Chain A
């Protein structure tokens, strides 16, 4: 089972990501974050955990299948 990081590990991750965002530069930071997300999701290996994380990170605004669709996303909702 997956366990959460200890707080001091989380602190390290915080700084690692901050440095990596700076390293990527403003042009590429969004792309970097997207790559990071999908890599982490792949490693986590638990769809539910990932869905929950998306829910948390988007303040419950944009979770696929669960919340009201985001603009641009509603096209996927209808039939079929």
Chain B
């Protein structure tokens, strides 16, 4: 909602683009089967289009709106998502605009009870979290699609209204300002958000709970000096009853969230004069005395909902269409981005005939597993942020009061921020052969760790777009055995990137060699000469071997491509 007198897209800081409708060939009787159709140009659909294009796979994105997201929704983007954006070649614009942060403060009755410190080290290129408004996220992704004029077609003002999901493809009915047409694809990625039309057309329902408890979320513009940190307030003097959150965003925009109490009327809570009154009280509490302007507000209810299965034949659900999670812990968009890249590399391998269609079977267990994990954590945070019953409210008060003097209850105030999910149990992951061989480094199923090599030079800068093999060796030439293995790996995945990591500094000139003069990567990855890590296109470790065993590495790549277990 915007203040009275403002037009729907009249923002204090963001110029909404207007995307025109262009007639597609199908409107004039053209009939073609596109490799991938993506429903929805939200952040998740756009990420999927970019990830597919990077693998050389063309997609058509149909979006019912003519602009980006109205009002502010997601603001917190995680390091793991930034690493994905880097891999997609899109991170520069985000780094220019976003505000990075590592810390938070939690107050109870105006006293600081918890200092949140998110894990960070000099091995990281990116900070643990960045704040940036969703409309910028979408805008920057849309800008990036221009790099792929032949591979990404964005069709605005095009609404999915019908769907036929058959064994050999999907057929969609698209409504546009100039009439309807039918659009065919080999696969459909449903990225059409929480109110997914695709989900409805397939007769599917989200399962789970609508948690009790509402929040009002407001964005205000003001010149306010405070570091970019997450601030949470419980029972503050200004707002004794409601929990309050404050976040800084780019362009002097501040996000203020406050809880609506069980007895309060939500319709009342979002009336402009009431919103202004609450915002004024909260700003007074944080010590802001200057001017402020109201940009936008909305009401938010915490849900923990997801589909039982994220794949239905040739339709894969990515992002909010398949799961709706509470915002505390900032997982919606971050997990949606992870869905998009997971689905994209698998689809690309299937469409390029590098993998059987059964590779797609792993999408739902991997990403639904991530959702269940999120729901477990997010459910806990929501029950803390909006206690659903008297019992929960009482226990929260008990631990917060104790936290004033006792260390042991302070972690309750931790927001349990999003962590990348682990695919250890995935059928695509090859477990370690000898248990205990490695004492550190990312285990099979975990995402790669970054590692600083030099000023502005990190391990993840060098990762490929498809599978990557990290092999640790000081020999400039691979043994004949390894050379034969690499040839076979290239056959299985022609785009795979074989990266040799060496301690010898005289080999700097080759681009497939990383010089690890200080031994930093070797230590972080617990590697010796001969160690190999096989890494999936989404930067997850598919398998690792202390000393290379060509047969096992080959089998692990086959397995990661959806082949049968060795």
| Chain A residues engaging chain B, CB cutoff 8 angstroms | 30-31, 34-35, 37-39, 42, 72-73, 75-76, 78-80
Contact = CB atoms under 8 A, between A and B. Distances in A.
Contacts of A78: 207-209
30 contacts: A30-B394, A31-B394, A31-B397, A31-B401, A34-B397, A34-B398, A35-B398, A35-B401, A35-B402, A37-B398, A38-B398, A38-B399, A38-B402, A39-B402, A42-B408, A42-B409, A72-B388, A72-B390, A73-B389, A75-B209, A75-B211, A78-B207, A78-B208, A78-B209, A79-B207, A79-B208, A80-B208, A80-B306, A80-B372, A80-B375
A38 B372 contact: no
A51 B389 CA distance: 20
Interface residues of B, number: 25
Given A73-B389, A80-B375, 10 more contacts: A31-B394, A37-B398, A38-B399, A39-B406, A42-B408, A72-B391, A75-B388, A76-B379, A80-B207, A80-B208
A31 B393 CA distance: 10
A76 B208 CA distance: 9
A34 B375 contact: no
Contacts of A39: 402, 406
Contacts of A76: 379
B204 interface: no
A76 B398 CA distance: 21
B409 A38 contact: yes
A37 B398 CA distance: 9
B395 interface: yes
A37 to B, nearest CB: 8
Contacts of A35: 398, 401-402
A69 to B, nearest CB: 12
A13 B306 CA distance: 48
B133 interface: no
Main SS class of interface, A: helix
Nearest to B371: A80
Most-contacted residue by chain B among A37, A38, A73 (CB, 10 A): A38
Interface string B256-270: 000000000000000
B304 interface: yes
B395 A38 contact: yes
Contacts of A72: 388-391
B522 to A, nearest CB: 40
Interface string B207-228: 1110100000000000000000
Closest 3 interchain pairs by CB? A34-B398, A72-B389, A35-B398
Nearest to B402: A35
A49 B401 CA distance: 24
Contacts of A38: 395, 398-399, 402, 409
Contacts of B375: 80
A75 to B, nearest CB: 6
Nearest to B383: A76
A73 B392 CA distance: 10
Most-contacted residue by chain A among B306, B398, B401, B402 (CB, 10 A): B398
A32 to B, nearest CB: 9
A39 to B, nearest CB: 7
A35 to B, nearest CB: 4
B457 to A, nearest CB: 42
Contacts of A31: 394, 397-398, 401
A35 B391 CA distance: 13
A38 B372 CA distance: 27
Nearest to A75: B209
B394 A34 contact: yes
Contacts of B376: 80
Contacts of B399: 38
